[in-house]
Structure 1
Amino acid sequence: MSFSLPAVRHPVLKPLFRPVTYSRWLHLLTGSVAGVLTGFLRGGTFRPGHGGPWLVFATLPVPILLLAALVPAVRRVEGLQAQLLLMPGRFGAAARGSAQIATSPSATWRDRGRTAVWLLLRLEAGVAMTALSLQLPALTVVLVRAATGRATHVTGWPSIDAPHWWYGLLAPLPLVVLLAAAVGAGGLMAGAARLLLGPSAAERLAALEARTERILEHNRLAQELHDSVGHALTVTVIQAGAARAAGSPEFTDRALAAIEDTGRQALADLERALRLLREDAPRPADRPALTDADRLLESARAAGAAVRAEVTGPLEALPGPVSREGYRMVQEALTNVLRHAGPVPVSVRMAADTDALELEIRNALPAAPEPGGGGRGLRGIRERAALLGGEAETGPEGDEWRVRVRLPLRRLG
C-alpha cells in the first residue's frame, strides 16, 4: 500500500504536501552527519559554557571531506543520494531521463574538484538546516510556555520573565520559517546537485554517442527485418500461387517444404532482432553470413527462378560485418527479382579477394515492370554499402536489371 499526501492547489501550500519536500529535508539533515560525528570525537565540544557546537560542526570535518572528494567512488555515492532524495519519484525520473545528475565515479581532477565543492556545500547547508530544525521548534515551545503564563529559561534563547497570552500569536512563526527554509534550501540543493554533480562534457559526449549507436542499431534491425520478412513473404506467395496453378501433389509438397524452410528462417531472424532490441539480452552471434547464401539461392530456385551462381575467393575469410551485410544485400536483391520480375533466370556472382568483395545480381527485365517497385529495398542496399565504405549500383542495363556492389576489405581487415 502506497502513501500519498492530499492534493493541494494553492501555490503557497502545495510544496508542503509534496513528498519531495521532506526527502530533500532529510538529505539536508544527513549533510551534517560528518560534522556531528567529528564533534563527538573532539573533546569539549559539548562542554557546558563552551558555546554552541554548530561552528565546530561546520568547520572541523572540512579537511576530511576534501580528502574524501579525491576518491572516485564518492562522486557515484553522492550522485545516487541526490537522485534518490533530492529528486525522487517523477522528479527523479525527469532528472535521470535527461542525465542531469551523474552516477559515475570521478574520472578527472575537474570531477574531483566539483565533488569537493559539493561536499562542502552539503556540510554547511546540512549544519545550518539541522540547527534550524532543532532551534526553531524549541523557540515555539518557549513562546507556547510564555503564552500559558509560565516564565521560561531555555538555553540558547533569551529568557522570558514576564509571560503573556499574546506570545501565543507568535508561536507558529518559527515553524513557518522552518518549513519555508526547508522548501527553499531543498530547491537550491537540487539546483546545486545538477551543477556540481551533473555529467561532464566527456560524459555528455559519451552518452550522445551511445544514444546514436542505439538509434543506428535499431535502424539496422528494421532494415534486416524488412529484408528477411519481405523475402519470406515473397517466396511464400510465389510458392503458394505456383502450387495452386500446377495442380500436382508432388510440386505442392516441394512448395510447402520451401515455404516451411523460408518461414522458419524468417522466424529465426525475427527472434534474433527481438533479442537485440532488449537492452539486457546478450548480443546473438548467429547472424547469417555469405557462407549461408546457398539457402537463399535454393529458396529462389524453389520459387521457380533459374538461379546460376558463381562464387570465387574465400568467402569464409571475409570480415564479419562485410559477410553479414553482403548476405542481406543478396537476399534483398533476390527478393526484388521474385517480387517484381517473377521466376526469371537470375545470375549471382560473389567474388572475394584481398582487396574487396564484389556482388553482382542480374535478371531479365519483366515485360511490364511495376512502377516504383523495389525502391525501399534498393535504397537499403545502397545504405548498407555506404556504411561499409563501399558503393552500390542498381538499375537496368540493356535487357537486364543489375545490382552491383563493391565493399572494400583493407579498412576492415
Structure 2
Amino acid sequence: MKSTIIITIVFVTMVHTKAQSPLKDNNSTGLDLNSINAENVDIVRQLLNQETIIRMTLVKNVHTLMKDMLSLQEKLAEAEVEISSLKKSTDSELTDLKNEVMLLKLENGLLRNITNVHEEELENLNIKLENVSNTLADIKIEVRFSSLTLLNLNTRTFEMEKEIEEVARSVGNVKVELTDIDQKKSAAISILKKKRSFYLIIENALNVNSSMDNFQSALRLSEMEQLKLSAAVSSLELLRANLTNHDHDQATKVAFTAGVTSSNKSWRSGVLVFDKVIFSIGSGYNPSTGVFTAPIEGNYVFYVSAMEFSNHYLGVFIDKNGKHQVKLIGDSSAQFQTGTNMVILSLNRGDAVWVNHNSKGGVGYYSESIPVTTFSGFLI
C-alpha cells in the first residue's frame, strides 16, 4: 500500500511539472485549456480514472487499515487483559514466592536453632559417652581387681586350708606327744612312789651302819633321777605352753605397710594400688589389687600418706566395702603437697578396705624408689 501511494504522488508531480514548463526567456505560460485536443482529454480522463481507482484503492486500503487497527486494538486490549491477568497472577505468584521465601527463611532459622541444639546435645552426648567410657574403664578395672581379689582369695583359701591341715597335723602330733609325756609322767611318778616306798621299807628293815651308806647313796641317786624326771616334765609343759601361745600370737597378729615406687601423672580413677609390700603379717593385704581383706574380726587402724604430683590437686578416700570413710587432700597451691589421714575401723572377717580416687581428686600422684606415697594398717 505504501508503494502505491508513493507511485501516485510521483505521477501527480510529473503531470504538474509538465503543465508548468520553463521558457527560454524565463517567462512561463499556463496550460491553455482551449488548445487541449481530444488526445489530451483522453489522457485526462485516463488520469481521472486512475485517480479514482487510486482513491478507491486508498479508501479500501484505509478501510483495511482501519479494520487492521481495530483488530489490533482488540488484540491489544486482549493482550492488555492477558498482561494484566498475567501481572495479577505474577504478582500473586511473586507474593506466594515471597511468602514461601519468608517461610523458608523462618524454617531455615528454626533448622539452624535445632541444629545448634542438636550440636549441643551431641556435645553433651559425647561428654556423657566419655564419662560412660571412663566409668566403664573404672568398672573394668574394678572387675579386674575383683577377679584378681577372688583369685587371690581362692589361692589364699587353698593355702590356708593347707596351713590348717598342717596345723591340725602338728596339733595332733603335739597332742600325741603330750599324751606320751603325760603317760611317761604318770609312770615316772608311780615308779618314784614305788621306789620311795621300797626305800622306806629298806630303811626300816636295815639298821646296820655298814649298809646305811649304801642305802643313802642309792637314795641320792633316786632323788637325782626324780629331779631329772621333774625337769623333763617341766620342760615339756613349758614347750606345750609355748606352742599354744605361739599359735595364738600368729593367729592374732595382722599388720602391713605398702607403698608405690614410681610417680603416675595420669592416674584419675579407681583403686590406688600400693604394689611394694614393705611389711606384712597375717596375709591381709594384696599388692596386686591394693585391697586389704580382714582375716579376722577386730578393730583396725589404717593410715595413708599421699603426695600430689607437681601442682596437680590430689584427693583420695579410705573406703570400707566401697563406702567412703575419711578423705585426704594434697592441695595444688604449692608443688608436692602431702595429704595424710588415719582412721580406726571395726571390721568383720572378710571386710575389705582400700584407697580410692576422689571423683574431683585431680590427676596423678608422686612417689620415689623409696616410697613417699604409702598405705598402712594393723589390728589393735
Q: TM (normalized to structure 2)?
A: 0.26
Greater Rg by CA = 2
Structure showing greater relative contact order (alpha-carbon pairs closer than 8 Å, 6 or more residues apart): 2
More strand by share: 2
